[in-house]
Amino acid sequence: MTSMSSSARPLLNRRLAEFGTTIFAEMSALAVRTGAINLGQGFPDTDGPEEVREAAVRALRDGRGNQYPPGPGVPELRAAVAGHQQRRYGLSYDPDTEVLVTAGATEAIAAALLALLEPGDEVVALEPYYDSYAACIAMAGGTRVPVTLRPHEGTFRLDLDELRDAVTDRTRLLLLNTPHNPTGTVLTRDELAAIAELAVERDLLVVTDEVYEHLVFGTAEHIPLASFPGMRERTVTIGSAGKTFSFTGWKVGWVTAAPALLTAVRSAKQYLTYVASGPFQYAVAEALALPESYFAAYRQDMEAKRDLLAAGLAEAGFGVYRPAGTYFVTTDIRPLGERDGFAFCRSLPERAGVVAVPNAVFYNHREEGAPFVRFAFCKRLPVLEEAVGRLKTLSA
Ligand SMILES: Cc1ncc(COP(=O)(O)O)c(C=O)c1O
């Protein structure tokens, strides 16, 4: 046996060796350095509702949440999450045993995967996937098995046969995301029903990331997977105040799940952050009780922004996949005579003063994602108009 000196041994453990700096950090730094308009990272450039911000200020001043909040989250927020799931989807969860507050959806994803996976378990995830999925599966010692969403008539579609074929005897869970980042696909009722049947038939757990649940446009509809027959007992559902109320820096997320699943996720979560975001939890509790008019206005505002950016990108010469949900547009750069999204995104700030992200980073099969590039539209209209104007110079 050869002994390895500590200096020869890489510092980063091998499970994380393939994960460098996230693309968002790299591209946001590029935006700052070049002064380009940042349509790369998905954060709004205006804060959420004033009354919610005020609620956080009140909590801070009144001394609510300035010390460690309870591990599962403050009772007010757990009750508000349960109330939201009930009002919106008719799903009833007990705030004491079936709701867990987390440090953003990011911690919820990490805690769920660390809690539910054993080394060697396979996780079937829709590709392209949000980048923390791959890292968290790796940290848990799991193996990711991607099922690729493929372009079809202007949207990215799931092939249910491929999904069925991806499940093996080693599959422990399905990791879903609808509405889907980065493609903007919203899984339909029929697709979700088929996924639910598969999960029941193969006795799989499901972790479903529904952080964009309030951002669905036109006739698209968000239906929680947990509402399908046989799913409530096997599904961990994840939400986020960052995405729903435009306070991404507050890092307030939540999990709803049946008691046994929730207890498992909470066991992992308590050794990650233990607790986070004390005063913000009270503010988000108030936010979740906002009238329907808030959610409708938010959706309409984002839909108008989607329309503006999608039309502008098409005029600028991109192939455009019009999203049914989320605040991202995936484009195809081949009509511009380009094929490598990485090179394109690295040169775009210099060429056009705009930052975007290459979808390839969201793929196991990087070549599948090579010609696709994602733009975020959660920005003020004048910013989007300026970005579109700049991008039109590409094909001029
Ligand atoms: C699909 C998806 N899940 C989770 C997150 C992270 O959410 P949070 O900021 O609440 O941790 C994001 C953020 O971009 C996302 O796009």
Q: To which residue do tokens 């990485």 refer?
A: 342
Ligand 1 touching residue 40 (CB < 6 A) = no
Ligand 1 touching residue 183 (CB < 6 A) = no
**The predicted structure's pLDDT at residue 6:** 58
Looking at the chain, the whole-number percentage of residues with pLDDT higher than 70 is: 98
- Alpha carbon of residue 104 to chain centroid: 10
Ligand 1 touching residue 244 (CB < 6 A) = no
Compute the distance between CA of residue 18 and CA of residue 20 in angstroms, rounded to an integer: 6
Q: Are 59 and 279 within 8 A, CB to CB? A: yes
Ligand 1 touching residue 72 (CB < 6 A) = no
CATH 3.40.50.620 given to domain 14-48+293-392: no
Cα(307) to centroid of ligand 1, in Å?
23
Q: Are 191 and 156 within 8 A, CB to CB? A: no
Q: pTM value?
A: 0.96
**The predicted structure's pLDDT at residue 237:** 98
Of 38, 208, 211, the residue with max ligand 1 atoms within 8 A of its CB, to mutate for a pocket test, comes to 211
Cα(211) to centroid of ligand 1, in Å?
6
**Nearest protein CA to atom 13 of ligand 1, as residue:** 42
Q: Where are the domains of the chain?
A: 14-48+293-392, 50-288
Ligand 1 touching residue 102 (CB < 6 A) = no
Sites in the chain below the pLDDT cut of 50: 1-3
- Is beta strand 372-376 parallel, antiparallel or unpaired with respect to 357-358? antiparallel
Domain 50-288: which CATH number of 3.40.50.300, 3.40.640.10, 3.10.20.440, 3.40.50.2300: 3.40.640.10
**The predicted structure's pLDDT at residue 1:** 44
For 58-92, b where at least 16 C-beta lie within 10 A, e where not — what string? ebbeeebbeeebeebbbebbbbbbbbbbeeebebe
